[in-house]
Structure 1
Amino acid sequence: MQGQEPDMQFAIHAGAAFTDQGRLQRSLQANGALLSECGARFFGPRRYRQYFKPNFGGPDIRTLSPDAIKKMRLALPVDAATKRAIFLNDNFVGDQGNLLRDGQLYPDAGRRMALLQQAFPEEPINLYFALRNPGSFIPKLLMALPDPDREEILRTTDLSCLSWIGMIEDIRDLAPDVKITLWCNEDTPLIWGNVVRQVSGIPETAALTGEYDLILSLLTAEGQVLAQAALDTEANDPEALQVQLFHIFEEHAESDRLEEELELPGWNAEIVDAFSELYEQDVARLANMSGVQVLSPRNAPL
């Protein structure tokens, strides 16, 4: 099996769709030297398409053949210096166009993680996934589908019952050894440094290039001045810096950069508000689920 050391760590950043937009890969590239020092290497979407997608099979595939396992394991680097292999692709837990099926978000997630467990029984598998408010995620997902597929889902699915709980429970049931780290995409600007450190496995105290670029890009001109002042004065006090940046973001974020138009006919602000309440409850429930870690501004070292 490729001569892998048993302590090789397998990390996957898998979306959700419409969240990252290549930001994590750009951040890992900017901090490539640091990752290398820590024994981490990352791989973009091509390696997923080459080694994993052809072997995941259809929704009924529950067991990998020896040949499929061999092909999947070719994805891992074989150099002794690499201790953590990071794979970036939104499709790891579900292919675009098939993320809402049978009344569930990401219905293939549990099965695919179980197949990965079969292929990599000795390598700890870590899944990293940004949740998103279903109130804005569902209409965006539906509007990305061809008209016939969207109409079929609207006709056969009770959208009000959709949440992230089913997906995560499936992974826990079918692939119990996979460690899951989640965060709300809405919190990403405030916890970006923590997200990068968690995915890459680098020390929490490591300085990151571009750690605050995202939050700065979402602030008004006045907010950017205030944030830069906080970065200059509180650089040695992470907790104080976190508090200041949180309040600056709350008061000076560019609203038009954070809000999205709801393009799905009939989907309105009242529906989004209803989903928002359920979303908050679901995230709290997930945070107490065994094998699941939820990152938030309250536990993120900025």
Structure 2
Amino acid sequence: MAGPDPRSYRPVLREMPVALRGAPATDKMQTAMLQAALEGATAERLVLTNPSFLCMPQKALAQHMLYPMAGEKAHWLAQLFPGARPCFLSGLRNPAIFVPALFALPKERDLAAFIAGTDPVRPSWKDPVQRIRNALPGAELTVWCNEDTPLIRPDVMQVAASGGATDLAGGDAVLAKVITPAGLARLNGFLADSPALDPAARRRAAFLDKYAIPEAVEEETDLPGWADGQIETRTDRYAEDIAAIAAMPGIRFLAA
């Protein structure tokens, strides 16, 4: 499995889908993309990452919804390597946190233009996930809650590796950012004594409630014009969205 430096391939992958607009890439185009990503190396599986695969952040809210072109853009991406089975992995973030984080990007200044008339209580992840599922019914689609990433990163990496690796480096990289060194050391010691621990038990062993770093796990929800009641309502609807997505046919949902 290869997970190349994004700087090596993002310029090519930014331009190629727009140029093709859903048409299949030629063999020559595919070779050029692989050369840019692998830089002379070889791999049986290639993992490409980009937070803007579906669109640029400033266009994430349009037509009163999240990622209205999710299905179309996913199809464009799949056509970059039309002979391969596409696999999409995506962490979903509470819109009450996600929208303010997008607006906090350096280039965003006009809140009204950024929100594009979207009701802050309305955005749903269920819709873009369903659009991707409809556009690519044969694709592998794996989703999880971004809030759970520290606990399930090893599972995410295992899916990215297509089950081909059992011990992947960096599995605790995110967990190390939100748990104290003492907590991480205790977790690693516990796991060393219990090598056959299943993933669910491993997550329970993280002791996140006891060893969490407060400032690392508490996210800001500050956005001009957003009331506390809207944030609470949006969070409740996010939980409903996640339950609906987890029950969708053809979706692999990774739960903490």
- TM-score (ref. length: structure 1): 0.72
Pick from 202, 207, 214 the counterpart of residue 242 of structure 1.
Answer: 202
Task: Check if 1:217 corresponds to 2:177.
Answer: yes
Cα deviation 1:92-127 (Å, max 9, x = unaligned)? 221232211111212232112112333433211000
Q: Distance in 1 between matches of 2:219 and 2:227?
A: 12
Equivalent AA in structure 2 for residue 182 of structure 1: V
Percent identity of paired positions between Structure 1 and Structure 2: 27
Cα deviation 1:38-81 (Å, max 9, x = unaligned)? xx2223323543332213229xx8542766x8535532369996
Q: CA deviation at 1:221?
A: 5.3
Task: Check if 1:271 corresponds to 2:233.
Answer: no
Q: What SS does the corresponding residue of 1:208 show, helix, strand or coil?
A: coil
Q: How do 1:89-128 and structure 2 match up within 5 A?
A: 89-128=50-89
Q: What SS does the corresponding residue of 2:196 show, helix, strand or coil?
A: coil
Q: What SS does the corresponding residue of 1:93 show, helix, strand or coil?
A: coil
Q: Distance in 1 between matches of 2:74 and 2:234?
A: 27
Q: How do 1:145-294 and structure 2 match up within 5 A?
A: 145-148=107-110, 150-154=111-115, 156-203=117-164, 206-220=166-180, 222-238=182-198, 241-242=201-202, 244-246=204-206, 248-294=207-253
Say if 1:51 and 1:220 are closer, same or farther in 2 by CA, change over 3 A: closer
Unaligned runs of 5+ in 1: 1-39, 298-302
Given that 1:136 and 1:262 are in contact with CA atoms closer than 8 Å, whether structure 2 keeps it comes out as: yes
Q: Distance in 1 between matches of 2:136 and 2:230?
A: 33
Say if 1:266 and 1:66 are closer, same or farther in 2 by CA, change over 3 A: closer
- TM-score (ref. length: structure 2): 0.84
Equivalent AA in structure 2 for residue 231 of structure 1: L
Equivalent AA in structure 1 for residue 167 of structure 2: A
Given that 2:64 and 2:118 are in contact with CA atoms closer than 8 Å, whether structure 1 keeps it comes out as: yes
Q: Distance in 1 between matches of 2:199 and 2:64?
A: 42
Q: Distance in 2 between matches of 1:180 and 1:243?
A: 23
Q: Distance in 2 between matches of 1:227 and 1:92?
A: 35
Q: What SS does the corresponding residue of 1:181 show, helix, strand or coil?
A: strand
Given that 1:234 and 1:241 are in contact with CA atoms closer than 8 Å, whether structure 2 keeps it comes out as: no
Unaligned runs of 5+ in 2: none
Cα deviation 1:257-276 (Å, max 9, x = unaligned)? 11122331233543332222
Q: Distance in 2 between matches of 1:96 and 1:73?
A: 29
Say if 1:48 and 1:100 are closer, same or farther in 2 by CA, change over 3 A: farther
Q: CA deviation at 1:212?
A: 2.7
Say if 1:50 and 1:175 are closer, same or farther in 2 by CA, change over 3 A: same
Q: Distance in 2 between matches of 1:63 and 1:237?
A: 44
Q: What SS does the corresponding residue of 2:152 show, helix, strand or coil?
A: helix
Given that 2:122 and 2:234 are in contact with CA atoms closer than 8 Å, whether structure 1 keeps it comes out as: no
Number of aligned residues: 252
Given that 2:61 and 2:115 are in contact with CA atoms closer than 8 Å, whether structure 1 keeps it comes out as: no
Task: Determine the structure 1 residue equivalent to 2:33.
Answer: 75
Deviates more, 1:177-186 or 1:270-279: 270-279
Q: Distance in 2 between matches of 1:268 and 1:234?
A: 46
Given that 1:140 and 1:264 are in contact with CA atoms closer than 8 Å, whether structure 2 keeps it comes out as: no
Given that 1:44 and 1:89 are in contact with CA atoms closer than 8 Å, whether structure 2 keeps it comes out as: no
